[in-house]
Structure 1
């Protein structure tokens, strides 16, 4: 079955996330095409596990390994994701933020950050992986038309779950080679504002900007 084939394909080799990146800040986010009948139900593909080089449950660790820490409001989330390369890596979605306060480092240029995961077509997934893997998955046996008419949503093991209009404390990394900003450790690097405090939706930890300044020294 095609769905099972895609799951087997997309979960292969995704245990350790790479540092995400982005297109140039002046690039236009792709709009989701008008769904065809075959695109009304988007399959969800989850990364089965994730590993990090430090303790992501420790706020101080995440902050210290981040190039910048900001309080920002999400203004737009791209409808579509893109693969940064054709090596089977996880796709990335562009997010536009308005930086309200800088606590460490600089704000992302033009307010553009990248979040791992998002929606792509089976055809895009097919094109982003080695042919051998595509053949093993069964995607190579499907027609281009079939692959283009089916969407899949990639979700990391620790999703950020951002929402337009919400304000967050974000801990960001940079990719020097691509010159872009991205969440430092997926959902562990995002704390949603709730009054005067910020809460991480994975660990349920709460902190204020003053707490974070103390942690950063």
Structure 2
């Protein structure tokens, strides 16, 4: 089996060492950098499969490197997970706006990070669209494009399906309307932001049945946009 190569960019040796050991146990190959200059050189020379990028770095922030990567055609599609001690939602949104594929806040469990890495690599390879995703009694079958609540099929339009598939693949993360437009409708498609609100209302309505109400899975984040949260699963 070919090892997937992970670039760890963090100025703290203890964190790099902890990540390297956990990733090597999970059969990843690791390369390391402690500043954005070395990181960029390694990206060009070593071509990693994914980058774990700390927000705060000497000689420039991780956000600065992320912007540089997303401006370059050769590195634009390189998956990037931001590692940050910044928990304020506006900082998280800023990283996602620039182009980060995911983020995780310190301190974090290595097992959770590895799960995020594997999920992101599957998405980058196009594997997410065929996944069967389940949250409690809500089941999304990407291959047949069908939704079930328990044993009952749920009727919804193709845009609502795509929106739910994106949300279920990216739980517990807040997204702005613009980000949802880019991910679900496509970056090159012009659609007004309020269109997102219309489809959110339709999606919530579709997730309400006479016996089950899963509409609270789609949460409004004041001042930001929306998130999908399993904490909205109704109690039995």
TM range (shorter): under 0.3
Structure 2 length-normalised TM: 0.22
TM-score of the aligned structures, taking structure 1 as reference length: 0.24
Structure (1 or 2) with the larger CA radius of gyration: 2
Higher strand share: 1
Q: Which has the higher contact order (CA 8 A, sep 6+)?
A: 1
